[in-house]
A and B are shown apart, each in its own frame.
Chain A
Amino acid sequence: MIEEVVKYLGLAILVTGCLVNLIGAIGLNRFRNFYLRLHAATVSTIGGTFYPLIGLALIAFSSSGLGSARFFMGGALLVAAFLLLMLAPAGSHALARATHRAGIAKPEPAIADHLEEDRGG
């Protein structure tokens, strides 16, 4: 009973996350420049990959046909989800900071750019 509930809960989280991932992919194509694309990348990273990995781990834990390998699978998926939650924001922050310092992309719809002013630009 509880196994079925966990399995279908994980399936619902997974399918919702895949839809969010598609929405983020469309946004990554449609936005104009790099700083706007960061929003879409965040949507498809956390909403479209972190939550589906959690749902997939729930499915793996509750599928008893796999024997004892299901604990290995679910544990690996949980570790991957935790690493994604920690590392993806750090990586995109480093990339955005380097892009701003190197002046590759112009922050276009901007009222004020305090980071540029602090550097004396």
Chain B
Amino acid sequence: MSLVELVLVYVALPLLSISSILYLLVVYRGPTVSDRVLSADVFFYTSSLFFGIVGLLIGSPIMVACTVVLVLWAYALDIYVAKYLERGELGD
């Protein structure tokens, strides 16, 4: 393995895994629903970065393209929960 791959596997991916576990901890025990949604948001962003690194390591372009979808989905979750907290269900 080259130096870049070694650094990606042994430094970047463990750091991102530790922070993903910390985000999921907040998702589990956050006192209000806003805390949970905010933390799930950041977890989706971090996992999109994770998918990008893994896709680059295994050389798969389809896995790299998943990052765009994950970012858009986290934004959709944000907007839906904000709408629900302000005015109730969609369509009202």
Contact A98 B85 (CB under 8 A): yes
Count of CB-CB pairs between chains A and B under 8 Å? 169
- State which of B46, B52, B61, B75 has its C-beta within 8 Å of the C-beta of A44: B46
Contact B82 A98 (CB under 8 A): yes
Considering only residues 59-92 of chain B, those with a C-beta below 8 Å from chain A are 59, 61, 64-65, 67-68, 71-72, 74-75, 78-79, 81-83, 85-86
Contact A19 B56 (CB under 8 A): no
Q: In whole Å, how far is B44's beta carbon from the nearest beta carbon of chain A?
A: 10
Contact A28 B42 (CB under 8 A): yes
Q: A28-B23, A87-B75, A88-B45 are in contact. Are A34 and B86 (CB under 8 A)?
A: no
Contact A73 B61 (CB under 8 A): yes
Contact B16 A18 (CB under 8 A): yes
For residue A102, which residues in chain B have a CB less than 8 angstroms away from its CB? 85-86
For residue B41, which residues in chain A have a CB less than 8 angstroms away from its CB? 41, 45, 88, 91-92, 95
**Contact indicator per residue, chain B 1-37, by CB within 8 Å of chain A (1) or not (0):** 0001001100110011011101101100001111101
Q: What count of chain A residues pass the 8 Å CB interface test?
A: 54
- State which of B38, B46, B53, B65 has its C-beta within 8 Å of the C-beta of A38: B38
For residue B71, which residues in chain A have a CB less than 8 angstroms away from its CB? 80, 83-84, 87
| Given pairs A56-B49, A104-B33, 11 additional interface contacts (CB within 8 A) | A21-B46, A25-B23, A28-B38, A29-B22, A34-B35, A37-B38, A44-B42, A73-B64, A87-B72, A97-B82, A97-B86
| A interface residues (Cβ-Cβ under 8 A, vs B) | 7-8, 11, 14-15, 18-19, 21-22, 24-26, 28-29, 33-34, 37-38, 41, 44-45, 48-49, 52-53, 56, 59-60, 63, 66, 69, 72-73, 76-77, 79-80, 83-84, 87-88, 90-92, 94-99, 101-102, 104-105
